[in-house]
Structure 1
């Protein structure tokens, strides 16, 4: 049976017991917005008291597990209604059904003197209200980074051409099939600044792979193989326009097709285990050093060097992922972020970290470029997200 997944919960951050609480939930082939309005719940004092208590816990962000308990308690009364309304989710379906699901707004109501929530369907979202994924390709900031990829004749697909083979626990498509080849799908998130840095890195990797094939041929790194670009008119046909409102349609970048690395887990997951040998750790260290040197020779900075951004494939080899720039404190110093020197600092700290789990030091020969402080590419602010 398909699980329910709570994508987020919203409430007023300034303390206010009259605040509404809204849940955003995925289930089956649909998305739901569940609204708890204290003005509606006020007909039942006991239900209103419970709503106030839920708000207090959410507002305090209680670390003792009560937050999750509240989220589940608020979702639970709507399970049956969501199951009735959601289209079934097939084992293999197209990506557009995830990106553009039917959205339904549900509302909590209650009878007088009752202590039970009565789930109520309010309405379905129109096209004007639907928050469209991705960014318009005409966005001036995106254009500067996307145009070279579009001009390079990189493969482009619509989400209707992409079949979903697997999902993350958050119900986000991960492994996908396009033209008989399996890729990793990474959604393009609007406003995620280091995404532009990532496009720049993949553009350099593509350009140098074509210009000098041996340069990156044997580097185990994540690569870009295609762009998923959708036309609003095509994918939003089932979202009606509000009466009298004008549609503003366009073409949007909604995702990237990357190397699909069938893996056992990240370096952080695997290196500490007792069944991991010193030979494994030494081999991974060597592979990381080699991949970083290949990237630098191609003019690309890894950026966020840390064990979470190294995947170990099913054959036991290490792959570098996530070229979105930025840095993680403890692995790379802020003043060395997105530099050659910062990458080698991160690599050395990964070696030191591997040594903690080994019975002998993990030592490497210093590579060309280690210790150099030359900055390559632009510097971006923003958090990190491991997409693979």
Structure 2
């Protein structure tokens, strides 16, 4: 679904993030962030003229978004759309040299913009970027839920102003995508949420893990420390205990790991999934990237948001124990079998991205 004639982009791209997306009747809206600026990119087929190939690409992308399956080429398609507007959005969000303590509240988007992606004869034409009025600049519009509601849980709640973002370079502090944070002196991992339903499901799973009383060495999973809410009590993200990660079981790491170590990882992951199911917890998004290896060489299961990547779990088995077991079987194959189709797929995609052959 590649776009043709992508707008020229500087060789060193400024950092940006795709905050989310949602479907509409005639396409979808892509949410893009650069520092303090948030851009809503409307990709709608009524703005495509004499461009049947581009229209078909939008329709395929919209169907994949609606399916809730993570498609490898969907992320690439979204990135190509974002690149059409990156240079202009960069100008609207100039670099700021930040000094001193930085919090999530300060790094949140504070300027909101709209634009359209148009096509003429299969050639993309980015529209002008327009600033949204003050009455429209509502941070809640980034949520998939039209009316998110306050949330209560057994975990402590924090305001964004209480979460300190750690950074190294003051000149790019407001340009970074935050993840490493401090709360009350505790080193944590910050993960934003875009859906209150997903948020409640995730916190519910971690509540069961917490109430089990099992220590991390007994049940090696990521652990929730607390949640972040806005001034109205609307949930905005989760705070996880920091994991000192050594590696993730990518195709390259798996190829290099000795058989005995891979067998250890497989055994740990299998035991973790079995224990989770005993607690009535569904892992959900079973795949290699949702396992990390800590400095002690132990496999830790992370990411309980659900969803699925194509090839790992069938759509009709998503968010079920059966789906977990299907994904687990394929994960074991990924780790132990050099001819695993999923491992070969990842390897091919990486080598294609790097433009090299090994």
Would you say same fold, with TM above 0.5? yes
Partner of 1:26: 33
1:103 to 99, 111, 114: 111
Name the residue aligned to 1:177. Answer: 182
Is the 1:173–1:185 Cα contact (8 Å) retained in structure 2?
A: yes
**Structure 2 vs 1, CA of residues 353 and 14 (structure 1 numbering), >3 Å: closer, same or farther?**
closer
Q: Specify whether residues 317 and 76 from structure 1 end up closer, same or farther in structure 2 by C-alpha distance, changes over 3 A only.
A: same
In the alignment, which residue of structure 1 is the partner of 2:222? Answer: 222
Residue segments in structure 1 that go unaligned for 5+ positions in a row: 16-21, 36-50, 109-118, 232-249, 359-388
Given the superposition, is the C-alpha separation of residues 159 and 355 from structure 1 closer, same or farther in structure 2, using an over 3 Å criterion?
Answer: same
Cα contact 1:284–1:317 (8 A) shared by 2: yes
The aligned residue for residue 291 of structure 1 is 272
1:252 aligns with 2:234: yes
The match for 1:268 is 250
Task: Please state how far the C-alpha of 1:226 moved relative to its aligned partner.
Answer: 0.4
After superposition, residues 294-309 of structure 1 pair within 5 angstroms as: 294-309=275-290
Counterparts of 1:266 and 1:175 in 2: how far apart (Å)?
Answer: 18
Is the alpha carbon distance of 1:124 and 1:203 closer, same or farther for their aligned partners in structure 2, counting shifts above 3 Å? same
Whole-angstrom CA distance in 2 between matches of 1:270 and 1:91: 39
Cα pair 2:249 2:335 within 8 Å, conserved: no
Q: How do 1:131-280 and structure 2 match up within 5 A?
A: 131-132=139-140, 146-147=151-152, 149=153, 152=154, 154-165=155-166, 171-190=176-195, 193-209=197-213, 213=214, 218-231=218-231, 250-273=232-255, 275-280=256-261
Contact 2:312–2:330 (Cα < 8 Å) also in 1: yes
For 1:312 and 1:295, the matched residues in 2 are separated by: 19
Tell me how large the CA RMSD over aligned residues is.
Answer: 4.5
TM (norm. structure 2) is 0.63
For residues 91-123 of structure 1, give each alpha carbon's deviation from its aligned partner in whole angstroms, at most 9, with x where no partner exists: 851001233x32054899xxxxxxxxxx99965
- Cα deviation for residue 207 of structure 1 reads 1.7
Q: How many residues align?
A: 291
- 1:197-229 per-residue CA deviation (whole Å, 9 max, x = no partner) reads 2222111112222xxx46x65221011110112
TM-score by length of 1: 0.59
Distance across 1 between alignment mates of 2:138 and 2:184:
30
Distance 1:156 1:270, change over 3 A: farther
* Unmatched 5+ stretches in structure 2: 1-11, 59-72, 117-126, 340-358
Q: 2:138 aligns with which of 92, 107, 130?
A: 130
**Residues 114-137 of structure 1: CA deviation (Å, up to 9, x unaligned):** xxxxx999656425432326699x
Instruction: Please give the secondary structure, in 1, of the residue aligned with 2:236.
Output: strand
Based on CA coordinates, which of the two structures has the bigger radius of gyration?
Answer: 1
Per the alignment, do residues 181 and 272 of structure 1 end up closer, same or farther by CA in structure 2, a change over 3 Å counting?
Answer: same
- Post-superposition Cα deviations, 1:319-348, rounded to whole Å, max 9, x if no partner, equal 101223455554345555444444334323
Distance 2:272 2:36 in 1: 40
Change (3 A) 1:90 1:72: farther
Distance in structure 2 (CA, Å) of the matches to 1:67 and 1:206: 36
- Structure 2 CA distance for partners of 1:180 and 1:208, relative to 1, 3 Å: same
- Kindly indicate whether the alpha-carbon contact (under 8 Å) linking 2:159 and 2:230 is maintained by their aligned counterparts in 1: yes
2:337 and 2:54 mapped to 1: Cα distance?
39
Rounded to whole Å, the distance in 1 between the matches of 2:37 and 2:271 is 45
Return the alpha-carbon distance in structure 2 between the equivalents of residues 347 and 66 of structure 1.
28
Cα distance in 2 for residues equivalent to 1:251 and 1:301: 27
Tell me, in whole angstroms, the C-alpha distance in 1 between the residues paired with 2:82 and 2:49: 12
In 2, are the aligned partners of 1:304 and 1:322 still within 8 Å (CA)? yes
Could you tell me whether the CA contact under 8 Å between 2:115 and 2:129 is conserved in 1? yes
CA distance in 2, matches of 1:258, 1:67: 28
